[in-house]
Structure 1
Amino acid sequence: MSSDSHDHGHHDEGFIRKYIFSVDHKIIGLQYGITSLLFLLFGFSLMAIMRWQLAYPDTPIPILGFLFGESGTLAPEQYNSLGAMHGTIMIFLGVVPLAVGAFGNYIVPLQIGAVDMAFPRLNAASYWSYFVGGVIMISSFFMPEGAARSGWTSYPPLSIFENGQTMWLISMVFLITSSLLGSMNIIVTIVQLRAPGLTWMRLPIFVWSQFVTSFLLVLAFPPLEAA
């Protein structure tokens, strides 16, 4: 009986530790997937508002028009903000985390016969860095001057120094750090934790795609973060 109770206590991690602060690659993959899909939905909503403004420039935006002033339409600076945030959210909060963070974390260890990622805690840190960066990015909408207005490439002269742009930059530091941690983790996992007999030429094409993508992110993102 004592042995059974000991085993039960050992495996009963609790909801928060098991599903929120997990180090399991499947749970982290699901966290990435759910979070990135929510951000993609939000980014799509921004695009829909912009398209409405272009199609019906003098017509108040349905449902959400009250957020943009008495006229219910977008002012030029608001349109720039939505354009900047739409591009940033779709790329850095949606597509990249979904492709690498969600599918990479969940599938790569399964396809190469690994128990987990090479660095499970680093994997969790990567997700939470991404989550914090996303929260900061969305919070910039509530700044007095509004969100960043410089486009998702942050080109001058639109990248003026204001609080919204500063929060955009801080968010990008977290997001790029997250991508770098996740990419390095995937690379090390594929190189070191392949099952015996699974040579490079026998790797599934999906694993190859994740390896090449992660390698390119490691090359491209450090200069972007430094800039």
Structure 2
Amino acid sequence: MAERPGPLVLIGPPGAGKTSVADEMAKRTGRSRLALDAGWVAQLRRQPAIAAVEPRALVEPDGDVLPSRRRAYLMEVRERLTAAHGESTAARALEQAKARAVLDMVEGAGDDAIVDFGAGHSIYEHLDLRAAVAAALSRAFVVLLLPCAEPAAAVAILAARLAAQGRPVSAGRLAEYVEHPSNRALADATLHTGTGTIAEVAAQLVALAAEFKASGRTGPC
């Protein structure tokens, strides 16, 4: 099997614990930490299709889009692309720009990085774009975090977590994230976190990476 000397990448639905686990893993291993949510809009804005229609009023003087405005920014971009090119072309243009932004960030990540994919960054409807992201992740060890194996139960757990955090997401939307084939297509392994603490999940990831390495491929930890 081919070696995978690259980063550890965590993917999964909102509320899966990607950010908290990545922070804990970075503390445990001393590895660098990269959160795609923190910089992907800046990368997205560099894509010509997006730059041509973006709502400048939602962009800060320093060129960033505040987290509180990102949803409005993306909705406005989609509306403008749809008005200019139609819904199908708009959806592809936005997903293509998202994939390019993600690829740029992943390709710039060091081999020792722990990369936290935001929930939407691993979801691709267009199979060629999904394949391009998969190719970029071929040097990484990609782990899908889910609270449990049963989809309905996973959705209920995630909904409760997110509500407690003050960022509710509808059960229907969460079900799309949990069951979307894109996540499983990109993942090398799935970790069901159950009721484990962040520290316990991080320890499980260390063991999972060691198992991955022992199987003949080189994991990141």
Would you call these one fold, judging by a TM-score over 0.5? no
Higher strand share: 2
- TM-score w.r.t. the length of structure 2 is 0.25
**Which one has a bigger Cα radius of gyration?**
1
Q: Tell me: higher relative CO, structure 1 or 2? Use CA pairs within 8 A at least 6 residues apart.
A: 2
Higher helix share: 1
- TM-score w.r.t. the length of structure 1 is 0.24
